[in-house]
Structure 1
Amino acid sequence: MECCKCDWQVYKQRVSERGEYLLETGQWSDCKFAVGTEPHQKVFEAHKLFLAMSSPVFEAMFYGGMAEKNEPIPILDVQPEAFKALLEYIYTDVINLQSFDQACELCYVAKKYMLPHLVKECTKYIWRDLHAKNACRAYQFAKLFEEPTLMDKCIEIISSETERVLGDPGFEEVELSTLVTILEQESLCVSSELVLFDAVERWARKECARKGLSPDDNKSLRAVAGPALQKLRFLTLKPAQFAEGPALSPLLLQEESFAVLVNISAPGGGKLPLPEGFCPSAKPRQGPAKSVFDLPVTMDTIKDGNKFVCLRQVAHKPPIPNNSILDCTMTFTVDKNICILGVQVPTQVHPNSAEVPAPHDLATLRQPPSNESYTELLYAHLLDCDGSRLTYTHFTSRVFYGQLVEIGFNRPVYIQRNKVYRVGVVLNKMGWYPMGVCSQSMTCDSVIFNFCVGQPSDYSRDGLIRSIVFTY
């Protein structure tokens, strides 16, 4: 006898599937939440038992001595999409993070309702997506949620990629305290203090606009940028640099500009002291403390003579299919400080190759692969031991079947000896790829590479990453 279609429980094999059904349909719901503010507010139906068994905050809300009696329960400080993601996690254990901003919003909700595992997963996502363009926002997030290790990592990126951080439009949205923290760093990668002054002035004009003040008014600019202005090291500039730049800015009063110029021209300033609160240091900013990062390298400056390819030896295995997305990762260490330029991956096996499995009646029609090409589509990145992304690339190009193709990263990255790094490649083109068991230790130009280090879960299908391309 066929089960009635209304008996939905019969067709749900796992608890997560049953939870998903209840969340989507609202069946048996006994509480409602009005989340967000108008005009974007949304109402969510939920189940007290599900929520209480996942969160002590919800437990107190529904079953404590001060149980919530409002209906719907207002939650004004949370975005609807973040609350929806929270409910999906509670009901199904699924965490679907798609962006840096979403991870930050969901982490806020997870902290509020005391779901530590969800907080951890959000933080890990932020680590993996950390780069110059979001380092300031990530720092503010880490400071708000008291994540000191993440704060240190953000400062490290800001210090080593300062000009990229300051050049991003998002920098102008940072809080004053974050701006001051940046200017307090001894180690910043800037060509001169003029870069920092220009950044402060741009930020101050933007802040005036946000507060409804005139961005050209001297008093308004100084009011918003005062603490940051006092962190600038004007005495590191040459007289002409200061006279043609900061001295003409509305950020400085005429008498202040004169006093600073006298102190630059005559160290000690004679009888004319620096304006009150101005930084007396004449020591230029240092680059990042790790000297391995001090040498600027670009793809254009790398010649064929000093580019090396550590090609792993491989024992071939049958090819594997990519029916949608094929993800492969490989961890590695080196015994010397080197600069990573990219990787090499194999292209697809020709569809007519005898290596590719085929229906029995077509097997005799298979011909050896010809010299044909196809459009490869992939994404590759390099992560450090903390899972933070160091560099990446999107690759789309016509390639020949059965060859190795070199994938250059968006920028070269210096890495340090004896530290673990991870290369990841995501293949998006359907077809068959040659698999193999690759050597786990290779020496190239006196550099010893150890591959697939750490736990087995740290690497997968590493045979699809055949080479590391590097220089010194």
Structure 2
Amino acid sequence: MAAPCDWQTVRKTVKERGQYLLEAGIWSDCRFIVGTEPHQQVFEGHKLFLAMSSPVFEAMFYGGMPEKDPIAILDVQPDAFRALLEYIYTDRINLSSFDQACELCYGAKKYMLPHLVEECTKYLWSDLYPKNACRAYEFAKLFEEPVLMEKCLNIICNQTVEVLSESSFDDVEFSTILTVFDQESLNINSELDLFNAITRYANRHSQSSGAKVPRLDGIGSSTSNTEGNTRYPTFKDAIMKIRFLTLTPKAFAEGPASSTLLTESEKFAILMNISSSSATVPMPSGFSTSRQHRQKKSSTMNQRNDPMYNSLYMGNPAMDTSRTSMIQYQPGMNVFSEEGSNENSNKYYCTREMLRVTECMNTSVLDCAVTFTCDKNICVFGIQVPAQTIIEEDRQVAVGASYAELLYAHLLDADGSRLTYTHFTSRVNYRSLINISFNRPIYIQKNKVYKVGVVLHKMGWYTIGTYTLQSTCNGVVFTFGQGQNCDSVRDGLIRSIIFSVPSSNQNNMSNCSVCAIPGVPV
């Protein structure tokens, strides 16, 4: 597009000139294909503008392994990406709906724009209602926003009847159902409110051919690890959390006793125990034996008067809610190149020695993690995980076939504080190994416990394994499973740790340093 002559002279501010560059597309030197078919859109951008605002874009365009043009971004909605570009070019933030704020916050997290994350989070805080509290909780849980999670749980516990009656409750993740049913304080009339909600949820998803929730009987929803003792939750897991013993015999007989969600023997045993606390028939295995009614909270948190909210958001406007500002690097450190003249730029793969191989089916979201220590100071760049093996059970794929992978990976310290993370979305080949690079490499101190994890969002089969507890690479000894029970499903997808060895392997921060944030453990 040809620009009018001297267009710069009539635009007084940088944001006005940035807005014109974004809209006109002149001098653009990169393109993005955003979203999925049939709603994909192409955006043009300017590498310098993008890299000035985002360290992820800086690595993407000016790192050791620059991305090829056009760049596919499948996990961000076009409208959210347009809003993200508008923020980068003009500092303008236009939030008009809860859904938009969620989508924009996802993009801001992915490209490490902490001020935009903060504004989106504050908007979500101010726009919470029973209709969206569960979805906001899931969003906050995924992106590790504890203040927002607490606020959502307060709304869920204080306005439980309204939350359960909303049609949106039928679409929440099953893990959220279990969290709600676990709460000691719920503002419900009786446990029948919970039973009616899970009945509606079960009917909806049992009739949906594409449901991502488990069936009541667990058929098709469970899978075993190499020990043969791992399964996915079922509807029965939620039902067992209901405090049936707080009901009257009449209320139980007219409600749950007529439901197909309970077996005849379970109905009989529950009714006997409701009728008499000294019944000779025990409660069904795993069912709640509590006779205490849930507590009711008397008041809700008010964001304007809540000290936690004020200290985290209002009193510290520069706070980086993504917590990635904890790591700083000295000028001249080449952290993105695979090879280089100095030792810091060489990457090594500590590949865990596999003892036994099996496969695991991801039906919705699969969270895998492993703790580790090493005997030398190192810098961790990322991890290596296996791609899917097959699309469906007993269905093979052609050699060289690919699919769009979507996952989230992070590195935590011993206290559970997140040190770095990344959102990975790209086409990968089946039966391959995927290299996942964190947004920033992290300095790891010897003999300290760290935890590396990955959350898979694509349904399909993955290769897992059991491994030896120690692996050695380039003179560094890694010890895995520190401080946790070894579980092959939980840690079996972490194949390798990608790292480098500092030239001066002393206990100092000459190349990488952790900057403490007041009140935040590091």
TM-score by length of 1: 0.59
Matched, 1:251 2:249: no
Distance across 2 between alignment mates of 1:275 and 1:211:
30
Distance across 2 between alignment mates of 1:258 and 1:134:
38
Distance across 2 between alignment mates of 1:88 and 1:284:
51
Q: Residues 212, 114 of structure 1: CA spacing in aligned structure 2 closer, same or farther, 3 A cutoff?
A: closer
Q: Does the 8 A contact of 1:128 with 1:387 survive in 2?
A: no
Unaligned segments of structure 1, at least 5 residues = 294-381, 389-472
Matched, 1:282 2:202: no
* 1:173-212 alignment, distance < 5 Å: 173-212=171-210
Q: Residues 184, 91 of structure 1: CA spacing in aligned structure 2 closer, same or farther, 3 A cutoff?
A: same
2:168 equivalent in structure 1:
170
Please tell me whether Structure 1 or Structure 2 has the larger radius of gyration of its CA atoms.
1
Q: Match of 2:51, as an amino acid?
A: A
2:67 equivalent in structure 1:
68
Deviation at 1:172, TM superposition (A): 0.8
Q: Residues 218, 137 of structure 1: CA spacing in aligned structure 2 closer, same or farther, 3 A cutoff?
A: closer
Distance across 2 between alignment mates of 1:87 and 1:251:
49
Q: Does the 8 A contact of 1:218 with 1:250 survive in 2?
A: no
Q: Which one of 305, 309, 315 corresponds to residue 385 of structure 1?
A: 305
Distance across 2 between alignment mates of 1:255 and 1:188:
29
* 1:206-355 alignment, distance < 5 Å: 206-212=204-210, 219=217, 224-270=234-280, 272-288=281-297, 291=298
2:158 equivalent in structure 1:
160
1:340 equivalent in structure 2:
none
Distance across 2 between alignment mates of 1:112 and 1:35:
14
Deviation at 1:292, TM superposition (A): 5.4
Distance across 2 between alignment mates of 1:95 and 1:386:
25
Distance across 2 between alignment mates of 1:72 and 1:90:
19
1:85-144 CA distances to partner (integer Å, 9 max, x unpaired)?
000000000000010000000000000000000000000000110121111111111101
Matched, 1:110 2:108: yes
1:253-309 CA distances to partner (integer Å, 9 max, x unpaired)?
111100111111111421x11111111111111111xx457xxxxxxxxxxxxxxxx
Q: Match of 2:5, as an amino acid?
A: C
2:226 equivalent in structure 1:
none
Please, what is the CA RMSD of the aligned residues?
2.4
SS at match of 2:305: coil
Q: Match of 2:16, as an amino acid?
A: E
SS at match of 1:281: coil
SS at match of 1:53: helix
Distance across 2 between alignment mates of 1:126 and 1:96:
13
Report how many residues are paired.
292
Q: Does the 8 A contact of 1:208 with 1:220 survive in 2?
A: no
Deviation at 1:383, TM superposition (A): 6.3
1:47 equivalent in structure 2:
46
Q: Match of 2:67, as an amino acid?
A: E
Q: Residues 224, 101 of structure 1: CA spacing in aligned structure 2 closer, same or farther, 3 A cutoff?
A: same
Deviation at 1:232, TM superposition (A): 0.5
Q: Residues 20, 283 of structure 1: CA spacing in aligned structure 2 closer, same or farther, 3 A cutoff?
A: same
1:34-60 CA distances to partner (integer Å, 9 max, x unpaired)?
001110000000000000010000000
Unaligned segments of structure 2, at least 5 residues = 222-232, 309-522
Percent identical: 60
Looking at secondary structure, tell me which structure has more helix per residue.
1
1:99 equivalent in structure 2:
97
Q: Residues 189, 40 of structure 1: CA spacing in aligned structure 2 closer, same or farther, 3 A cutoff?
A: same
Distance across 2 between alignment mates of 1:30 and 1:200:
52
Q: Match of 2:238, as an amino acid?
A: A
Deviation at 1:387, TM superposition (A): 11
Deviation at 1:6, TM superposition (A): 1.8
